[in-house]
Amino acid sequence: MQILGVDIGGTGIKAAPVDVTTGKLVAERVKMPTPHPAEPDAVAAVVRELVTGFGWSGPAGITFPGVTTEGITRTAANLDPAWIGMDARGLFGKATGLQVAMINDADAAGLAEMRFGAGAGHQGTVILLTLGTGIGSALFLDGALVPNTEFGHIEIRGKDAEKRASEHAKEAHDLSWEKWAAQVDEYLVHIEALLSPGLFIIGGGISRKSDKFLPLLTGLTAPVVPAALHNDAGTVGAAIVGAAMAG
């Protein structure tokens, strides 16, 4: 089965059709900038353009960088506050004419990694963290998702963790790999103390450069591995929830 996956982020919106039996993209992924301000109608227009570009008429799954329950977006830390309380599933369905499913973006990436990637076969507690514009989190217990965690907003030294340990924080403050890795390490140690995971998976685009920072993480007991699907994980996970909705 092929489902269109659309992954909405704070800086870019990505889409591709996905074979949900293999987790492989079946066409080249297309990325467009997230509009600023990232108001609902503006974002929906970009999603419509992506859908049109693929000539897509089947089901689709769409991720959102915030708490999402039954198609309603409850938070929007890195997008416009007009999203809070929005019927996003209805908005995207009307904009595209498609049957759509919605899920938090990090939860989508986690689903993909647990099915096809670095978390496949792992039991116990697994935490995926996407280090990007902010920090997204996905928590799994024996393979089952505990949805809508917001571990990027845990406070470290008086600031949200994502202000110190996201890829955006590295770029905004022009941090060396060593300095940034120390801040990521401090954050992960804090998470490990709270949840004692058996595995950390680091996702987001920066996971492609994992050799630059994972060897610098020294304070952890649990292993830390890069996402196998890298920055495609959210798109693949969006397709997974689209397939579940389609039956």
Assign 128 a pLDDT band (cuts: 50, 70, 90): very high
Assign 77 a pLDDT band (cuts: 50, 70, 90): confident
Closest by CA position to 17, among listed 199, 221, 168, 232: 232
Residues 81, 145 within the same domain: no
Residues 173, 210 within the same domain: yes
Residue 79 carries which DSSP code? S
Assign 7 a pLDDT band (cuts: 50, 70, 90): very high
Looking at residue 205, what is its pLDDT?
87
Looking at residue 181, what is its pLDDT?
98
Residue 141 carries which DSSP code? E
Tell me the average pLDDT of the chain: 96
Residues 82, 6 within the same domain: yes
Looking at residue 85, what is its pLDDT?
98
**For residues 151 and 135, what is the distance between their CA atoms, to the nearest angstrom?**
8
Looking at residue 195, what is its pLDDT?
97
Structural domain containing residue 157: 121-227
**For residues 49 and 61, what is the distance between their CA atoms, to the nearest angstrom?**
15
Contacts of 2 (CB under 8 A, 6+ apart): 17, 18, 19, 20, 26, 58
Question: Which percentage of the chain shows pLDDT scores above 90?
Answer: 96
Residues 48, 85 within the same domain: yes
In a domain, 115, yes or no: no
Residues 138, 177 within the same domain: yes
Structural domains counted in the chain? 2
Assign 119 a pLDDT band (cuts: 50, 70, 90): very high
Average pLDDT of 48-53?
A: 98
**For residues 93 and 59, what is the distance between their CA atoms, to the nearest angstrom?**
10
Residues 169, 239 within the same domain: no
User: What are the structure tokens assigned to 161, written together?
Assistant: 């963790």
Residue 36's CATH number: 3.30.420.40
Residues 141, 187 within the same domain: yes
Q: Encode pLDDT of 203-234 as tens digits.
A: 998 999 999 999 999 999 999 999 999 989 99
H or E element, residue 21: none
Residue 246 has pLDDT above 90, yes or no: no
Q: The pTM is what?
A: 0.96
Looking at residue 78, what is its pLDDT?
84
Residues 125, 214 within the same domain: yes
Question: Which percentage of the chain shows pLDDT scores above 70?
Answer: 100
Peptide bond between residue 37 and the one before it cis (omega within 30 degrees of 0): yes
Residue 247 has pLDDT above 80, yes or no: no
Radius of gyration of the chain (CA): 17
Q: Which residue has the higher pLDDT, 196 or 10?
A: 196
Looking at residue 154, what is its pLDDT?
96
Residues 132, 46 within the same domain: no
**For residues 138 and 140, what is the distance between their CA atoms, to the nearest angstrom?**
7
In a domain, 212, yes or no: yes
Average pLDDT of 146-169?
A: 95
In a domain, 135, yes or no: yes
Identity of the residue numbered 235: T
